[in-house]
Chains A and B, each alone.
Chain A
């Protein structure tokens, strides 16, 4: 009984780590002000986080985590509630598709595949907003956001790796696989 409670708690904690770490990075990126280019980076931890945790730790990240992150992104970003939720679910599905078909464990491949997943997500999100407001979003700004997010991915992935190693232990995963 005691061990089952302990297992439940440790599994729940493992699910909380990706969401909390992503939110912490988002909050940190909200701090610098005074330069408009920072605005393009503020949502980068969401994209990088969803892709990273889904592809590297699918046992600790699922679509409900992506949904929760989407709610936070919608409220903090000032867009309609639902836009980021929908686009993060799309990013999650694209990441599942890519990680099932490609060797995502090698960083260079992972980065390359992230670029395609990010492009699909951003175009999807831009299309929804453009359709809803009947006005095309400026593609140059979309391009800047895409390139900057892609550029900071290695740094964010490195931080996520450190968090993974520190807070989610391999033994726990092994137990889960065996069971």
Chain B
């Protein structure tokens, strides 16, 4: 009796929380998608929206916000607002690139392992285990240091590092589907593996892939910002993380109100972008995978 009572006590608030979260998820998804739309618009139309070429030295260094420069100028006299708008491109390119790479790699490795099983599966999964066990940030720092800090290398590295988790989920789902009667029957009728994959497996995988895509995008955006902030990003790709790095590089930045228009906006943009991707991902996960079987 007592233990049941305790259980009820502890479970009750959790249940309410879950229910409320469910109810809120509509709003959450709306916020996520709208924010995402804002960032995509900024990225696509940056040349039209930005008052200046973000690389041009249009003002004096360290100008305060005014009519000419709404967010002032940075240490070399570039317009901060224009940098911010163009910065959306870097973040989104990395996010989308790394996400697509993650899903494709995960699909390839997980799909092959899950479909073929046996020693191929064992070998691939041990590789996946190794990658999963490695700490990601130090590894990516090492790789970008060795290969040079190009945006492309960084994106590929992230895809490589994020894909093992994806591969595992896909493999599990494949295993699950492989034993089903309709798959066996299709095989008996001589359907090719590719046909079976396309016709029977992919529809089951689609929700996982979409959620994986959005999650990986969020992680990639955060990691790019972190790397750029550490000074390990591509110095020619002015991302928000790099803007923050440059701002903090100015001695005494936090002593004046300069941080308000130089440090805060890119920080806010990164936060909001990751938030947008997370919200969208959560919403999609609930929508496409209501049972919550996946990761």
Q: Do A and B bind each other?
A: no
User: Taking beta carbons and an 8 Å cutoff, which residues of B are in contact with A?
Assistant: none
